[in-house]
Amino acid sequence: MELVACLSTGKGTWGHVSRLIQDGNWDRIFLITNEYGKENFTKDSKTELIAVNMNIGINELRDEIYDKLKEKITGNEVAVNIISGVGKEHMSLISAILRLGIGIRLIALTKNGIEEI
């Protein structure tokens, strides 16, 4: 399964995303981030950092995420994590994925490991 996650703001959220990447068995990982995240997050070979402009409107952000994901996701569903970031980014990401016709499974790192929420 492929993982799509926000990598934005929030104290400790980059650590959560890092553990999710390390502990999960993902085919590929797409992290929606900004230029700062793209330049500063340490990624592995399965991870692609996709920089978007988080300062634009919600519809424009949705369209930018859609355009950048449409040729990348290969399955008919993805694991999604939105621990990092804010509501506008989360709504844009979820809307973009659903517009692609792809199902989502919300997942998080819990005290019991990676779980579907």
For the chain, give every domain's residue range.
10-116
User: Per-residue pLDDT for 82 more than 80?
Assistant: yes
3-state secondary structure the chain: CEEEEECCCCCCHHHHHHHHHHHCCCCEEEEEECHHHHHHCCCCCCEEEEECCCCCCHHHHHHHHHHHHCCCCCCCEEEEECCCCCHHHHHHHHHHHHHCCCEEEEEEEECCEEEEC
User: Per-residue pLDDT for 11 more than 80?
Assistant: no
**In the CATH hierarchy, which fold is given to the domain comprising 10-116?**
Rossmann fold (3.40.50)
pTM of the model: 0.94
Q: What is the mean pLDDT of residues 2-9?
A: 95
For all residues of the chain together, what is the average pLDDT?
95
